[in-house]
A = this chain, B = another copy of it.
Amino acid sequence: MAYELYYWPGLQGRGEFVRLALEEAGADYVDVAREDGVGALMRAWDDAMIATPSFAPPFLRDRKRLIGQTANIVTYLGERHGLVPKAEAERLWAHQIQLTIADLVVEAHDVHHPLGGDLYYEDQKPEAKRRSQAFRQSRIPRFLGWFESILARNPKGNKHLVGARISTADLSLFQVVAGLRYAFPEAMARIEADHPLVVALHDRVAKRPRIAAYLASDRREAFNEDGIFRHYRELDG
Q: Which residues of A contact B (CB under 8 A)?
A: 48, 50-55, 65, 67-69, 71-72, 76, 89, 92-93, 95-96, 99-100, 102-103, 106-107, 110, 114-116, 118-119, 127, 130-131, 134-135, 138-139, 143, 146, 149-150, 153-155
Alpha-carbon separation in the docked complex, A89 to B89 (Å) = 22
The answer, among B89, B95, B118, B146, for a CB contact under 8 Å with A134, is B118
Counted per complex, copies of this chain come to: 2
Alpha-carbon separation in the docked complex, A48 to B67 (Å) = 37
The answer, among B52, B71, B115, B150, for a CB contact under 8 Å with A99, is B71
The reply to whether A146 and B100 contact each other, CB–CB distance below 8 Å, is no
The answer, among B72, B127, B150, for a CB contact under 8 Å with A52, is B150
Closest Cβ–Cβ distance, residue A198 to chain B (whole Å) = 14
Q: Could you pull out 9 A-B pairs where Cβ atoms are within 8 angstroms?
A: A50-B153, A53-B153, A55-B100, A69-B95, A69-B99, A106-B106, A114-B131, A115-B127, A115-B130
Alpha-carbon separation in the docked complex, A199 to B235 (Å) = 42
Please give, as numbers and ranges, the residues of chain B lying within 8 Å of A154 by CB-CB distance: 51
Alpha-carbon separation in the docked complex, A155 to B154 (Å) = 44
The reply to whether B54 and A72 contact each other, CB–CB distance below 8 Å, is no
